[in-house]
Amino acid sequence: MPSKRVRPEILDFKPYVPGLSVEEIKAKYGLEKVIKLASNENPLGVSSEVERALRLAAAGAHRYPQNHNPRLNEAIAQAMSVPAECVISGNGSDEVIDLLMRVVPRPGVDNVICYEHSFSMYGLTARLCGVEYREVPRGGNFRLPLEALAEAADRNTAMVIVTSPDNPTGLAARAEELQVLSGVLPAGTLLVVDEAYMDFSWPPEEYAMISHVADSENIVVLRTFSKAYGLAGLRLGYGVMPAWLAGHVRRARAPFTVNVMAEAAGIAALADDNFYSATLDVVFKGRERLLARLPELGCEVTPSQSNFVMFRPPKPAGDVCARLLERGIIVRHLKSFGLPERIRVNLGLPEETETFLNVLGEVLRG
């Protein structure tokens, strides 16, 4: 027996690759101002209502939160018109992905299916849980391959995962098509729809699956406060799932993973309609601008229902990202998604988007 024992899959485990931080880039290039458009964060920052709620909540930081955060779950249920018993809050939706992966598939027996070039946390979490992870190819122009997912599912498929709107492409699946998929999956297979970016789809009722969860036995929807609500640093997300499954997850999970600050911030964020509308306004206008301007610079763009745009520049994407970085603009080279020719840029403030377009234009001409 080796004296430093870890599970064999940990020895060659590939860690999650986060976007670069503003501090790292400032230090590396000696820059004072850096524009970060790489992690799909909220361009408006933190809502002032949330800041106020955080100051108030700070006085209670010596207390444990109420287990399972019932006040927050109730607020989510109200805002989203879903039953509170179906809501599981988590330390980011990453925690809900992890909980599902540990509660649903049997390690060494079951499998989980997604498609290629998708959010890496699904595969990483499956691997850590000893669950087989399969990927089917995408359709043409990166289309979400719903038929191929249905065909790939077998009786040991515990979950089929679809990100809609998708990261990194920005494409969304229609709710109608996802309902068909949920109906043709083998008995006992869950359809997990990661709606981290659903706030940015228009019109939402054509795409969102959240209202269909309560009437189904096998649909789970994941949402997050990290994007449209501007709380990425506090770590708060949730899953909406059939009540029977939520009950099992609640029994199995570790206590207190959503802290008192995140809980207070989430409740305040849901009540702050002005900040939410202002966020959508900046994103929708900026997205129109990017989708119009990038092709004029010779870039091939993919239509987006999200707060970012994926594009292929007419020069090598890695070089373009490096040149942008030197000038203080962080975007996401999609090499880590297996798409080395493409870049993902999220919407910033209008002036940030313009600076990005100007500098990109110089980089592509130079």
Ligand X SMILES: *Cc1c(COP(=O)(O)O)cnc(C)c1O
Q: Catalog residues that contact ligand X under the rule CB under 6 A.
A: 40, 92-94, 119, 163, 167, 194, 196, 224, 226, 232, 237
Could you tell me the smallest distance in angstroms from the CB atom of residue 163 to ligand X?
Answer: 5
With residue 243 as reference, give the H or E element that holds it.
Answer: helix 243-252
Could you tell me the smallest distance in angstroms from the CB atom of residue 239 to ligand X?
Answer: 10
Q: Is the CB of 212 or the CB of 235 nearer to ligand X?
A: 235
Tokens at residue 194, please?
């990661």
Q: Is the CB of 97 or the CB of 363 nearer to ligand X?
A: 97
Count of H-run helices and E-run strands, the chain:
14, 13
Could you tell me the smallest distance in angstroms from the CB atom of residue 187 to ligand X?
Answer: 27
Q: Is the CB of 111 or the CB of 224 nearer to ligand X?
A: 224
Could you tell me the smallest distance in angstroms from the CB atom of residue 224 to ligand X?
Answer: 3
3-state secondary structure of 165: coil
Could you tell me the smallest distance in angstroms from the CB atom of residue 144 to ligand X?
Answer: 13
Q: Is the CB of 135 or the CB of 194 nearer to ligand X?
A: 194
Q: Is the CB of 89 or the CB of 218 nearer to ligand X?
A: 89
Could you tell me the smallest distance in angstroms from the CB atom of residue 93 to ligand X?
Answer: 4
User: CA–CA separation, 272 vs 122, rounded Å?
Assistant: 31
User: CA–CA separation, 211 vs 82, rounded Å?
Assistant: 7
Q: Is the CB of 308 or the CB of 356 nearer to ligand X?
A: 308
User: CA–CA separation, 54 vs 59, rounded Å?
Assistant: 9
**CA angle in degrees (0–180, nearest 5) for 257-263-264:** 155
Cβ neighbour number for residue 134 with a 10 Å cutoff: 17
Residue 299: CB partners within 8 Å, gap ≥ 6? 311, 312, 313, 314
Backbone angles phi, psi at 88, to 5 degrees: -120, 115
Cβ neighbour number for residue 182 with a 10 Å cutoff: 23
Q: Is the CB of 96 or the CB of 363 nearer to ligand X?
A: 96
Which residue in the shown chain puts its C-beta closest to ligand X? 92
- Tell me the C-alpha to C-alpha distance, in Å, between residue 148 and each of 15, 136, 138, 143: 28, 7, 8, 11
Could you tell me the smallest distance in angstroms from the CB atom of residue 230 to ligand X?
Answer: 11
